[in-house]
Amino acid sequence: MKRQIRRRYLWNPYGLRLNIINWINMRRRHKARSSRRHKKDGIDRISTFPDHVLGNILSLLSLKDAIRTSILSSRWRYLWTLSMSLDLTLFENEGLEKFESFVNYVLDNCKSMNLDKFHLHCPEAVGFSLINDWVSSAISRNPKQLDLYIDFEELEDCYDDNPEAVPLPPYPNCILNYNNLVVLKLKSCFEVEIPSSVSCFPCLKTLTFTGWYPYHSSVVNRLISSCPVLEILRVVGSCEPDEPLLFDISNITVKKLYLDFNTGERGLHQHFVIINTPNLEYLNIKDQTLACYVVNNVDSVISAYIDCQGPFGRDADTKQVVRLFLLLESVAKAKQLTLSADSLLILKPTFCCTWPIFINLTNLQLNASECFDWTLLAYFLKSSPNLERLGLGKDLFSREYQFEDQFKWNPPDDIPECLKLKLKYVEMTMFKGRNDELQLVEYLLNNAQVLEVMFIITYPYPLKDEMVEKVDMFERASQACNVYVVEEMRRKLSKKDLEELFDI
């Protein structure tokens, strides 16, 4: 019986967001019609809910929208003051004085004494004394989560020119003395001093710190050691290329670790990151500095994402390649692994090395760029005997014809064990139907003996019918395999699209 490739359409979430308001309005009209059909009386049922329930409902809205509900009726006039979440953000089109008055009004009238979240995002021009007063007022309401984002653009410029001549503002001490925080997110250039005798944040489970490094590296090290129940750690910031830094991330309770370092000058930097987290389950590294990672006790890692970037316009040197290869070896026991195009480009010279065996790996995602071919894919297939799901993405940032010859598929000499026994799902994105892509599809279909599904997602244009027929003619080692050609759509959705998508 002749096989037939099934065509599908995939709506990109960006296109969905562009027209989501149409869907919302459509749902409102649908519900309004339904309500009129089934209306029995004119009772406002939601207003009969207890105050604490309405306060929780208003917490789901933005603070300004919650305040606007005060015009609904006398019942709603002051309900916004029971909101459990205060999000105070100064937007570009708002005046500074108006924002200060708004924050003071909110804090003076807020009646919630056990906030779920307090978020403050404003520029340094507000003034440090006023920021301290606002944070102190928020702390008095026992928040579980505190987000403090202070933009110090002018101060950062002065600090870059002459760091010794610019004293940084002191960190609000009321935060260090508050013991009930569960989530803390800091983005600022405060002067943070934590005495070694102080054990702060006994309840903190999630910490996000965005700063300047190496200036704030000792602060991060101290914070990590001061959080006995920390589970999620995010360290983000800009690193000085000429100043070495040392991060010591040693914590027995951390389960998820996110590291995101950027620098103005890519290359080989004397940055060291020690990771000693025996209970770590998820590791996410985005690093433009190609720091040297010393990874210990991470055998528990389930999922890893690595995006390391080399120098612009030239190949990475041997030390950079070795650093990244050692990092890859350290997560060899992970079940899920994602590597960026930049990481694969740096690792390309390692095909002559002895590769680690990814004994637990069941899900692999590789992303290729214009300068990377499929050389390392064969090594991953040979080194991953239990691989069940394979994702392959490719993107060209320059004109395609300039790099088409660089994409080549050289299959391994022997069929990898994962193709014989394990691989069930393959997804290829940004598929354009070039020779290397067709060769790779043919190889996988010819040799994946238990393959069940192959998704081929095309962009920016759908495959021509003759190309689809060519794929359809490839011999399949697995007779149970279904091939789907999916056209990714990045456009505004019509009313008909929305009705079909949401089945309205």
235-251 per-position pLDDT tens digit: 998 888 778 888 899 99
Residues 493 and 441 in one domain: yes
**71, part of any domain:** no
- pLDDT value of position 103: 93
Q: Is the pLDDT of residue 26 over 70?
A: no
Angle at 463 between CA 462 and CA 465, to 5 degrees: 120
- pLDDT value of position 427: 93
- pLDDT value of position 353: 82
Residues 310 and 334 in one domain: yes
DSSP string, 318-334: HHHHHHHHHHHHHTTT-
Residues 423 and 466 in one domain: yes
**212, part of any domain:** yes
Q: How many domains does the chain have?
A: 2
**189, part of any domain:** no
| CB 133, CB 122: distance < 8 Å | no
Q: Is the pLDDT of residue 388 over 90?
A: yes
Could you list the beta-strand ranges (E) of 134-281: 145-151, 183-187, 206-213, 232-239, 245-250, 256-262, 271-276
Among residues 356, 382, 401, the one where a domain terminates is 356
Residues 311 and 378 in one domain: no
Instruction: Please name the amino acid found at residue 124.
Output: E
Residues 341 and 367 in one domain: no
Residues 222 and 261 in one domain: yes
Residue 242: which residues within 8 A CB-CB, separation 6 or more? none
What is the mean pLDDT of the segment spanning 411-423?
A: 92
**484, part of any domain:** yes
Residues 206 and 347 in one domain: yes
Residues 224 and 346 in one domain: yes
- pLDDT value of position 429: 87
Residues 502 and 487 in one domain: yes
Give the residue among 277, 270, 282, 215 at the shortest CA–CA distance from 249: 277
Q: Is the pLDDT of residue 398 over 50?
A: no
| CB 223, CB 254: distance < 8 Å | no
Among residues 300, 321, 356, the one where a domain terminates is 356
- pLDDT value of position 369: 72
In this structure, the number of other CB atoms found within 10 A of the CB of residue 103 comes to 22
H helix or E strand, kind and range, residue 8: strand 6-11
Residues 336 and 311 in one domain: yes
**125, part of any domain:** no
What is the mean pLDDT of the segment spanning 334-348?
A: 91
* pLDDT tens-place string over residues 469-479: 888 899 999 99
Residues 274 and 295 in one domain: yes
Say which range, 154-158, 299-303, 385-389, 417-421, has the weakest mean pLDDT. Answer: 154-158
**225, part of any domain:** yes
Domain containing 248 equals 194-356
* pLDDT tens-place string over residues 6-24: 655 554 544 444 344 455 5
Among residues 356, 388, 409, the one where a domain terminates is 356
Q: pLDDT grade, residue 466 (50/70/90)?
A: confident
**204, part of any domain:** yes
* pLDDT tens-place string over residues 174-217: 888 899 999 999 887 666 777 666 667 899 999 999 887 877 78
Q: How many CA atoms lie within 13 A of 200 on its CB side?
A: 20
**439, part of any domain:** yes
Cis (ω within 30 of 0) for the bond into 214? yes
Residues 276 and 385 in one domain: no
Look over the chain and give the mean of its residue pLDDT values, rounded to a whole number: 81
